[in-house]
């Protein structure tokens, strides 16, 4: 499986997951959420990539929503922000 993250605009990303079933996802990471969780310490593209790695450890790519804002992950996986805040 491979994951490719493309920046569409400052807050919007296209994530392509190549697997048995390939999928594409539009993800939004706002400056406010970037500041809140990561204090702008990591590039947004890297955060989106790591967030997909986090998701793919927990569910198949075909189960991941096709369009979502990154904070939505916390609603489904309560440990997300705690783990994500430690990324360096």
Length of the chain: 88
Residue 71 pLDDT: 98
Supply the pLDDT for residue 36: 95
pLDDT at 41: 93
On the 0-12 / 13-18 / 19+ scale of CB atoms within 10 A, 74 is middle
H, E, C per residue of 54-76: HHHCCCCHHHCCCEEECCHHHHH
Task: Kindly tell me if the per-residue pLDDT of 88 is higher than 90.
Answer: no
Count helices and strands (H / E) in the chain: 4, 4
Residue 34, pLDDT score: 97
Which tens digits make up the pLDDT trace of 31-82? 999 999 999 999 999 999 999 999 999 999 999 999 999 999 999 999 999 9
Res 85: pLDDT: 94
Mean local confidence (pLDDT), 12-35: 97
Q: Does residue 26 sit in helix, strand or coil?
A: strand
Q: List strand residue ranges (DSSP E) for the chain, in order.
A: 2-7, 12-18, 23-28, 67-69
């Amino acid at each position: 499986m491979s994951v490719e993250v493309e920046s569409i605009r400052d807050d919007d990303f296209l994530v392509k997951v190549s697997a048995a079933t390939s999928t594409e996802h539009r993800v939004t990471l706002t400056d406010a959420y970037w500041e809140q969780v990561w204090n702008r310490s990591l590039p947004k593209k890297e955060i989106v990539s790591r967030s997909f790695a986090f998701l793919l450890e927990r569910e198949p790519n075909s189960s991941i929503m096709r369009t979502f804002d990154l904070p939505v992950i916390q609603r489904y996986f309560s440990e997300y922000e705690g783990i994500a805040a430690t990324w360096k």
